[in-house]
A and B are shown apart, each in its own frame.
Chain A
Amino acid sequence: MARIGVFVCHCGSNIAGTVNIAQVMAAAQTMPLVTFVADNKYSCSEIGQTAIREAILKQKLERVVIAACSPQMHEATFRKTVAQAGLNPYLLEIANIREHCSWVHSNDKAAATKKAIELVKMAVAKVARHEALFTKEIGLTKKALVIGGGISGIQAALDMANAGYPVILVEREPTIGGRMAQLDKTFPTLDCSSCILTPKMVEVAQHPNITLLTYAEVKSVRGFVGNFEVEILQRARKVDASKCTSCGICWQKCPEKIPAEFNLGLGPRAAIYTPFPQAVPNIPSIDLAHCRYIKYQEFVARGEEGKKPPQCRICERLCPPQAIDWEQSDQVLVEKVGAIVVATGYQTFDHTRYGEFGAGRYPDVITGIQLERLLSASGPTEGEVVRPSDGTHPKTVVFVSCVGSRDERMGRAYCSNVCCMYMAKQAILLKEHDPEVQSYIFYIDIRAGGKGYEEFIRRAQEEARAIYLRGRISHIYQDGKKLIVRGEDSLLGRPVEIAADLVVLATGIEPSAGAKELAQSLNISYDAHGFMVEAHPKLRPVESRTEGIFLAGTAIAPNDIPGCVAQGSAAAVKALAVLSRPSLVSDPMVAIVDPLRCTGCFACQRACAFNAIDSQVTRDGKTIAVVNESLCKGCGLCVSACRGVAMNLKGFSQQQLLAEVNALWR
């Protein structure tokens, strides 16, 4: 029978301060099959690990129980430790006497000690039934997928491509650049946003290692780390990219005009369009919902009576290289990749949910990102800040912070992180555009915790003479040409009323539409708001809990540009750490079928979400289930679905779990 060693960790006073280590050790001595018991001040320290290794060798231990912190913390560490002493790493069990015991029962030392003893007893019973498990080497595709072509995704793609690995960058919009492309200047340096972004966009387009797919969406992801299979829907632009010279005649001559999404409705675009002049790729797309010829075709296809709409086709007639291709259709591409970086970014909160701000009824109540477009030299007004209602220059501008942030009423308890800073930036820029502008900024708190950020706020106050008022806005209404903004100055404890020419709502950040659905198909978790959840909020901030899938940028949480760029690079490094390995190691804790017991009912196959159950015909002609180990994720659903007790899960076998139960209260 096995010789089991038990190591009880003090964890300084974290465990020993509550749990009586000597009593636990004494009790462990009496447990079946235990031949050696020792304690450690800090088991995870080099000294602690060496002591464990030496004991294994000296005491000829065959199984090890370490009573210490959560296995989530150090199971991997200790598996390596026992492996270094020649033991199979899976002949180890952790008894969690810190997170599940000493830290939660510090008010009752006797009960905590009693519980710790029972937890050790359960672990001893379980480890006695452990089997040596062996990993397998599996191949991997040395190529990465980046989802989202904003600044985070661009940075991740460039870093991986520059390290020599092929990257596919998928962007839903017709161009990369994301939200950053919409910004005029960036805080706190007032760098021109497109001046620093455009070179990176061009680098992406020209990089030999990057395949850029714009106007495309990831439809489904299958497989596992190193071996993902991705379906990408490439939407038809109806423009042949190999012929188009980006001359721009098509969108200049297209007669159909609709509000431009990129300018948030502040200006028109044509039905054939590039979102902005520096778009990458600079190939126009035909917006099928608005193109006249497409409408004509649909009308004809419906076979309706009446006057036919015009055929138009002006772009086709005028295009010098004849790049318009009406036959082009959507395509589904299938790609194999080894690692995925998710950088799906954000959209801004829908301010029309605020009835007290006019619910979108007042044209001169705009959002922060709309003001960016007005400030931008490449925007709809070529950088002239004018009121959308009458084109006049606003002199009194009121900023309202936390619109869709820090507001439980709207289901948004979180801070959007960037609004305080962009309001300060916009106040400074407004003053630069027109020295007569007076800005008022209503805030709850000024959040300026970044390098040079607090100084920037002071600059808005002192140089741009922005008046900061602490309080919320209760009502905005139109009085002739003025907007009456009513709120509270909570420092003075008085109501305030300002007759403004323009009101800017600092709308908060929320995850992009469709991010949740994408997370579901990637099998990664997201929080109540739809932000992606990190594997560990502090120690693994750019990893998802699914191996091989990494996160960057505002898909995780509201963040500013430097933060997003840092995360893009960090995610790239994490992905490179996967791609640069010669091969991957499979997790051996997978399901296994007992062929003698399997009746071939395939209840397991119906329970499996990963298509990991195949069928095979035995020599005596019986059809039974067999586990495809490379697809099995080790959830054990098949085990509980199996009626014939034929299915089992290595590492969490029925015998192991029952042994834990059996050890209870004995």
Chain B
Amino acid sequence: MAGRTYAYYPGCALHGTAREYDVSARLVCQTLNVKLQEIKDWSCCGASSAASLSPLLGIALPAHNLKLAAAMELPITTPCAMCSYRLKTAAHELKDEATARQVSEVLGSAVGPEVTVEPLLQVLSEDLSFPIRKPLTGLKVACYYGCLLVRPKSVLQFDDEENPQTMDRLITALGAEAIDWGLKTECCGAGLPLARPDLVHRLAYRIISLAQRLGADCIATACPMCQSNLDIHQKEIEAEHGEKLGLPIFYFTQLLGLALGFTPRELYLHKHLTNPLPLLRAKGLG
């Protein structure tokens, strides 16, 4: 991990709504001597939309980015779970010759050689001996992986589908306590906030309230969709259930950043809608 260089694929969300994920990822990588070279001229990975309209497009878009990384002769890393899912799926599908031929036609030139894709969570958990300046002692964290980071296992080859541990180990290494809970890879409904807000509220409530009942102070995520979905609906859900939630939703890179000594402002924690600062102050971390 340390000293290695990666082709960095931030993805659209990290240049938009999830700036804080991008910023915190770059800060911790710099500190941990993980060199990120942003892929020049990267394009959208297609996310869930492209593949649902055209399976070929769903592969061709990430294939374009894989090709750019291949030209850099570097493995790709991306903080975004959706992007890593699409990139890994494309890399997997391109092993099929017929698919590779079709995609080459779309791209107008041959697909590049095989590139490894590692989500940033995987890269940063290879070596857990972090230079910690402010241990997160006393903080109870529910690690939430979401749908896309580990499923389907046959393609992503990352962690257990039902009870993944990578983020839990990382969070524990920061001095915090990772609670054991059963909704780590539950769907939060991030794909449906406009079409079915009722459903999204139900799914998000299930996740947030269970984490809270089991004693978690906050949730850690590795996905911009999960983070925003769990973060921004809390007020509405509170109104629907007549129940106080207010559970801060962090990116794991932000918690890592805090432990490495960065300030909440440096980590863009003020960007979250569910204000995490009271919690951090209460735990002596603010």
Q: Are A and B close enough to touch in the complex, i.e. CB under 8 Å?
A: yes
**B162 CB–A CB distance under 8 Å:** yes
29 A-B pairs in the complex with CB atoms less than 8 angstroms apart? A355-B160, A355-B161, A355-B162, A355-B163, A356-B162, A358-B162, A358-B163, A358-B182, A359-B162, A359-B163, A361-B163, A361-B180, A475-B162, A475-B182, A475-B186, A476-B182, A477-B181, A477-B182, A477-B183, A477-B210, A478-B181, A478-B182, A479-B182, A479-B210, A479-B213, A479-B214, A480-B213, A480-B214, A484-B182
* Complex-state Cα separation, A356 to B214, whole angstroms: 19
- When C-beta atoms are compared, the residue in chain B nearest to A358 turns out to be B182
Specify which chain B residues have a CB less than 8 angstroms from the CB of A356 in the assembled complex: 162
| Residue-wise interface mask of B (148-174) relative to A, using a CB-CB cutoff of 8 A (1 in contact, 0 not) | 000000000000111100000000000
Which residues of A in the span 328-365 have a Cβ within 8 Å of any Cβ on B? Answer: 355-356, 358-359, 361
Give, as a whole number of angstroms, the nearest-CB distance from B59 to chain A. Answer: 26
Other than the given A361-B180, A480-B214, 7 more pairs (CB < 8 A) read A355-B161, A355-B163, A358-B163, A478-B182, A479-B210, A479-B214, A484-B182
Give A479 to B186 CA distance when docked, in angstroms. Answer: 14
Tally A-B pairs: CB < 8 A.
29
Considering the chains assembled together, what is the distance between the CA atoms of A361 and B184 in angstroms? Answer: 14
- For A479, the closest partner residue in chain B by CB is B210
Nearest-neighbour CB distance to chain B for A288, whole angstroms, equals 35
Chain B's interface: helix, strand, loop or mixed, by majority? loop
Q: Which residues of B contact A359 (CB under 8 A)?
A: 162-163
Interface residues of B (CB under 8 A from A): 160-163, 180-183, 186, 210, 213-214
Q: How far is the CB of B226 from chain A (nearest CB, A)?
A: 17
Q: Nearest Cβ in chain B — how far from A494, in angstroms?
A: 14
> How close is B162's CB to chain A, nearest CB, in angstroms?
3
B160 neighbours in A (Cβ, 8 Å): 355
Q: List residues of chain A with CB within 8 A of the CB of B186.
A: 475
Cα–Cα, bound, A82→B37 (Å): 88
Determine the chain B residues whose CB is within 8 A of the CB of A475 once the complex forms: 162, 182, 186
Residue of B at shortest CB range from A356? Answer: B162
Whole-angstrom CA separation of A422 from B57 in the bound complex: 51
Interface residues of A in 427-483 (CB under 8 A from B): 475-480
**Chain B residues near A476 (CB-CB < 8 A):** 182
Q: Which residues of A contact B214 (CB under 8 A)?
A: 479-480
The interface residues of chain A lying within 8 Å CB-to-CB of B183 are 477
Q: Mark A228-272, 1 if CB is under 8 A from B, else 0.
A: 000000000000000000000000000000000000000000000
* Number of residues from A at the complex interface, CB < 8 A: 12
Residue in B closest to A476 when the chains form the complex, CB atoms = B182
- CB proximity of B74 to chain A, nearest CB, Å: 33
Closest residue of chain B to A362, judged by CB?
Answer: B182
A-B residue pairs, 3 tightest by C-beta: A477-B182, A355-B162, A356-B162
Q: Which residues of A contact B213 (CB under 8 A)?
A: 479-480
- The CA-CA distance from A189 to B154 in the complex, in Å, is 46
Q: Which residues of A contact B182 (CB under 8 A)?
A: 358, 475-479, 484
Q: Once the chains are docked, how many angstroms separate the CA of A356 from the CA of B163?
A: 8
B interface footprint on A470-509 (CB within 8 Å = 1, 0 otherwise): 0000011111100010000000000000000000000000
Q: How many whole Å from B150's CB to the nearest CB in chain A? A: 10
Chain A residues whose C-beta falls within 8 Å of the C-beta of B162 in the assembled complex = 355-356, 358-359, 475
Which chain A residues border B180 with CB–CB below 8 Å?
Answer: 361
**Whole-angstrom distance between the alpha carbons of A484 and B161 in the complex?**
18
Distance of A358 Cα from B161 Cα, bound (Å): 11
Cα A477 to Cα B142 in complex, Å, equals 14
Residues on B with beta carbons closer than 8 Å to the beta carbon of A480: 213-214
Shortest Cβ distance from A478 into B: residue: B182
| Docked complex Cα distance between A479 and B213 (Å) | 8
Docked complex Cα distance between A358 and B181 (Å): 10
* Interface residues in A377-417 (C-beta closer than 8 Å to B): none
Residues of B within 8 A of A355 (CB): 160-163
For the complex, give the distance between the alpha carbons of A355 and B162 in Å.
5
By a CB distance below 8 angstroms, the chain B residues around A361 are 163, 180
Q: How distant is B193 from chain A, measured CB to nearest CB, in Å?
A: 20
B210 / chain A contacts, CB cutoff of 8 Å: 477, 479
Determine the distance from Cα of A358 to Cα of B162 in the docked complex, in whole angstroms: 8
- CB proximity of B26 to chain A, nearest CB, Å: 34
Q: Which residues of the other chain, B, contact A478 by a CB distance below 8 angstroms?
A: 181-182
Cα distance A355–B160 when bound, in Å?
A: 8
Closest residue on chain A to residue B180 by CB atoms = A361
CB distance from B281 to the nearest CB of A (A): 28
B196 to chain A, nearest CB (A): 15
Alpha-carbon separation in the docked complex, A478 to B181 (Å) = 7
Q: Interface 1/0s, chain A 138-176, versus B by CB < 8 A?
A: 000000000000000000000000000000000000000
- Nearest CB in chain A: distance from B274 CB, A: 22
- Min C-beta distance of B154 to chain A, whole Å: 11
Chain B nearest CB from A548 CB (Å) reads 47
The CA of A421 and the CA of B165, in the complex, are separated in Å by: 38
By a CB distance below 8 angstroms, the chain A residues around B181 are 477-478
Which of the listed residues B163, B182, B210 has the most CB atoms from chain A within 10 Å of its own CB?
B182
Assembled-state Cα–Cα distance A475/B151 (Å)? 15
Report the minimum CB–CB distance from B204 to chain A (whole Å): 16
**Shortest beta-carbon distance from B160 to chain A in Å:** 6
Residues of chain A within 8 A (CB-CB) of B163 are 355, 358-359, 361
Complex Cα gap A254–B142 (Å): 43
When chains A and B are docked, how far (Å) is the Cα of A440 from the Cα of B124?
Answer: 44
CA distance A254 to B160 in the complex (A): 41
Q: Please, how many angstroms separate the alpha-carbon atoms of A169 and B181 in the complex?
A: 49
Q: How far is the CA of A476 from the CA of B181 in the complex (A)?
A: 11
CB interface residues, A 499-522, toward B, < 8 Å: none
Bound-complex Cα distance A358 to B163 (A)? 8
Tell me the smallest distance from the CB of B239 to a CB of chain A, in Å.
23
Give, as a whole number of angstroms, the nearest-CB distance from B153 to chain A: 10
Cα separation A575 to B186 with both chains bound (whole Å): 57
* C-alpha spacing A202/B214, complex, angstroms: 52
CA distance A479 to B182 in the complex (A): 8
A373–B154 Cα distance when bound, in Å, is 38
How far does the alpha carbon of A480 sit from the alpha carbon of B181 in the complex, in Å?
10
Measured CA separation A358–B214 after assembly (Å): 16
User: In the complex, what's the smallest C-beta–C-beta distance from B202 to chain A, in angstroms?
Assistant: 11
The distance in angstroms between the C-alpha atoms of A478 and B183, with both chains bound, is 9
Question: Whose C-beta in chain B lies nearest to the C-beta of A497?
Answer: B206
Give the docked Cα–Cα distance between A478 and B162 (Å). 13
CA distance A480 to B183 in the complex (A): 13
Alpha-carbon separation in the docked complex, A484 to B213 (Å): 14
How far is A358 from B183 in the complex, measured between Cα atoms in Å? 11
* B-chain residues with CB within 8 Å of residue A358 when the two chains form the complex: 162-163, 182
Q: How far is the CB of B5 from chain A (nearest CB, A)?
A: 35
Shortest C-beta distance, A362 to chain B (Å), equals 8
Chain A nearest CB from B213 CB (Å) reads 6
Q: How far, in whole Å, are A527 and B138 apart by their CA atoms in the complex?
A: 55
Minimum Cβ distance to chain B for residue A165 (Å): 54
CB-nearest residue of chain B to A484: B182
Per the bound structure, the CA–CA distance linking A92 and B267 in Å amounts to 91
* Nearest Cβ on chain B to A60's Cβ, whole angstroms: 70
Bound CA span A476–B163, Å: 12
A361 to B181: give the CA distance in the assembly, Å: 10
- Give the shortest distance, in Å, between A489 (CB) and chain B (any CB): 18
Q: How far is the CA of A359 from the CA of B163 in the complex (A)?
A: 9
Residue of A nearest to B183 (CB): A477
CA distance A478 to B180 in the complex (A): 9
CB-CB contacts below 8 Å: A124-143 with B: none
For A480, the closest partner residue in chain B by CB is B213
Give min CB distance, B62 to chain A, whole Å: 28
Q: How far is the CA of A34 from the CA of B210 in the complex (A)?
A: 87
Q: Whole-angstrom distance between the alpha carbons of A290 and B102 in the complex? A: 63
A484 — which chain B residues lie within 8 A by C-beta? Answer: 182
The residue in chain A whose Cβ has the minimal distance to the Cβ of B210 is A479
CA A476 to CA B214, docked complex, whole Å: 16
Closest to B182 in A: A477
Min Cβ gap B169→A in Å is 16
Complex Cα spacing A359 to B162, Å: 9
Give bound CA distance, A477 to B186, whole Å: 11
Task: Considering the complex, give the chain A residue whose CB is closest to the CB of B213.
Answer: A480
User: Which chain B residues lie closer than 8 Å to A477 at the CB level?
Assistant: 181-183, 210
